[in-house]
Amino acid sequence: MGNTQGLWVAVIATASFVVGIIGGTLAWIGGTPAALAVLIGAGGFAGFMTLALAIANFMARAQS
């Protein structure tokens, strides 16, 4: 990731936020209670964030 590491983390965090919001909203529209929909969105956020950061870390190490 080099000099742009902070920028990539910001992009990944923003994308994770969008995934979490969309996942929670779709769950809520599908009839899931609001509290559970928030947990589903949080799970989507955490899962995407973890996966994306792991991929970014792998790609940064592969370039070195």
How far apart (Å, rounded) are the C-alpha atoms in residues 20 and 5? 22
SS3 assignment, position 33: coil
Predicted structure pTM score: 0.88
Taking residues 21-43, what's their average pLDDT? 97
Q: What is the mean pLDDT of the chain?
A: 94
Pair of tokens at residue 49: 């964030």
Taking residues 24-46, what's their average pLDDT? 97
- Residue 42: predicted pLDDT: 98
